[in-house]
Structure 1
Amino acid sequence: MHPLQAPDITQATAVAAVDLVKVYGTGDTAVRALDGVTVGFARAQFTAIMGPSGSGKSTLMHCLAGLDTATSGRALLGGTDLTAQSDRVLTKVRRERIGFVFQSFNLLPQLTAEQNILLPLELAGRSAERGLLQHLTESLGLTGRLTHRPGELSGGQQQRVAVARALVSRPEVVFADEPTGNLDSRSGAEVLTFLRNSVRELGQTVVMVTHDPGAAAYADRVVMLADGRIAGELHDPDHGSIAAALQELGARR
């Protein structure tokens, strides 16, 4: 079978793009970062988005997460069209329905690890599920670090705090943007294993942008982008199939 298959959005999706276009700039300097992208991301699945530098993968994630506005098309979170919402509504959606894990951790330095984890719930006026909080902190090896501030934690520990923060509110989808980019290989593997386990054990939906085939191999599915368009996808990927697909993309250019 050909390693790249056409995208499919017929299954139940947590988040989807429909003919999504994003143009930066105007006139002769305009850059078409997304060029009519249609793709869905299934519930309770771990999907990686990959592609060459400048392919539009981060732009796609930012539009799907309500962090950036599309030029045209739709970004759907469940039944909500994010492209039709006000800034106030988008802020509420991001706070209550989406979890984020960033390469740079984005923890508040003055708060303890536990306070950072619980911050999304506090902002939303919700109480923590103590059982879930205990499960997250124990599974991530953070039980003895909850009173520490970010400056007292290693990079791997800080990213595990960020993962717990992203999951503690049971969001509809967690977006992870190069989550292992600032980690050594062992810490990166721990974070990726936990993200994969959150899909299996908690039914979480995870969408991750990465340039690393090793990281993408933890996913159930890899969506490939090139020049702002969907270039195909892989199911049950491994390092070899991902490397072959990336090589094929490079040969097309």
Structure 2
Amino acid sequence: MDGTRALEPVAARADEVWKVYGTAEARVVALRGVSANFARGKFTAIMGPSGSGKSTLMHCLAGLDTVSRGTVHIGGTQVTGLGDKALTRLRRDRVGFIFQQFNLLPTLTAAENIRLPLDIAGKKPDPQWWDTVIGTVNLQDRLDHRPSQLSGGQQQRVACARALMSRPDVIFADEPTGNLDSKSGAEVLSFLRSSVREHGQTIVMVTHDPVAASYTDRVVFLADGEIVQELDRPTPESVLEAMKHGEVLV
């Protein structure tokens, strides 16, 4: 890690994180002493082959999984060791999630799905921020529609708006374009990038797609549970080249 990056304000951090599943002959080491900073206001991709530990790292950073050794922080809060209530509160108030499967409730409208985390927390959306987010994802004429009445790209934009609405410290996105065609995927990625550049959001995205990674500010490559390379200002070509020469095959 260079000195400049070490001085950047950090939205999420892993320090010497190990994750081990099972014991004896069934023991699997998913993460091997991973240390990484994810700067505030930046868009970072995590890439690597199947079994490299990329999703495990994201889940540990987000507090969705526990670490076997090491520590994880969201901002100035140490996630490692938090009790269930504190962890639930942190995930609800300070972390946003975007998944490949959209995870929308079919009986709720788009607007109701977007408001759901705030409703659960007993909060109301800030009207100005609501208008900003809805305008950014271009869903003004779809708010009364249920998921079954929306295209895949529109459903994912609803999921993105839901993640942004509480203004979390960091949004974790797990293959957010995995179920979308290239046009819809590009729309979602453009929205995510603009939310970082225009609104200062922090996003950490797991992806296998070099084109998706090219929308980010930085790519972190994992292999066999370890960080093997990092790439700033990626392009599809530079990501492919890094994968080829670093043997980080996805």
TM-score range (shorter-chain normalised) is: over 0.9
In 2, Cα distance between equivalents of 1:139 and 1:198: 8
Work out whether residues 18 and 37 of structure 1, in 8 Å CA contact, stay in contact via their aligned partners in 2.
yes
Match of 2:67 in 1: 70
Work out whether residues 133 and 161 of structure 2, in 8 Å CA contact, stay in contact via their aligned partners in 1.
yes
Q: Which amino acid aligns with 2:148?
A: G
Tell me whether 123-132 or 191-200 shows the greater mean CA deviation. 123-132
Match of 1:200 in 2: 197
Cα drift, residue 11 of structure 1: 2.3
Q: Which amino acid aligns with 1:181?
A: G
Q: Aligned with 2:247: secondary structure?
A: helix
Work out whether residues 6 and 233 of structure 1, in 8 Å CA contact, stay in contact via their aligned partners in 2.
no
Cα drift, residue 125 of structure 1: 1.6
Q: Provide TM-score, normalisation by structure 1.
A: 0.95
Q: Which amino acid aligns with 1:55?
A: S
Q: Provide TM-score, normalisation by structure 2.
A: 0.96
The within-5 A match list for 1:104-253 is 104-250=101-247
Q: CA RMSD in A?
A: 1.5
In 2, Cα distance between equivalents of 1:20 and 1:88: 23
Write the deviation string for residues 62-113 of structure 1: whole angstroms up to 9, x where unpaired.
Answer: 0000000111100110111111101111111000000100000000111110
Write the deviation string for residues 122-172 of structure 1: whole angstroms up to 9, x where unpaired.
Answer: 111211011111121122121111011111111100000000000011000
Give 5+ residue unaligned stretches, structure 2: none
Work out whether residues 48 and 248 of structure 2, in 8 Å CA contact, stay in contact via their aligned partners in 1.
no
Q: Aligned with 1:143: secondary structure?
A: coil
Match of 1:12 in 2: 9
Tell me whether 175-184 or 76-85 shows the greater mean CA deviation. 76-85
In 1, Cα distance between equivalents of 2:184 and 2:132: 19
Identity of aligned residues (%): 58
In 1, Cα distance between equivalents of 2:78 and 2:234: 30
Work out whether residues 21 and 33 of structure 1, in 8 Å CA contact, stay in contact via their aligned partners in 2.
yes
Q: 1:9 to 1:31 in 2, by over 3 A?
A: farther
In 2, Cα distance between equivalents of 1:232 and 1:139: 33
In 2, Cα distance between equivalents of 1:245 and 1:52: 13
Work out whether residues 242 and 248 of structure 2, in 8 Å CA contact, stay in contact via their aligned partners in 1.
no
Match of 2:41 in 1: 44
Work out whether residues 18 and 67 of structure 2, in 8 Å CA contact, stay in contact via their aligned partners in 1.
yes
Give 5+ residue unaligned stretches, structure 1: none
Segments ≥4 residues shifted beyond 2 Å = 5-11
Q: 1:59 aligns with which of 36, 56, 61?
A: 56
Cα drift, residue 249 of structure 1: 2.6
In 1, Cα distance between equivalents of 2:210 and 2:234: 9
In 2, Cα distance between equivalents of 1:145 and 1:251: 40
Tell me whether 159-168 or 117-126 shows the greater mean CA deviation. 117-126
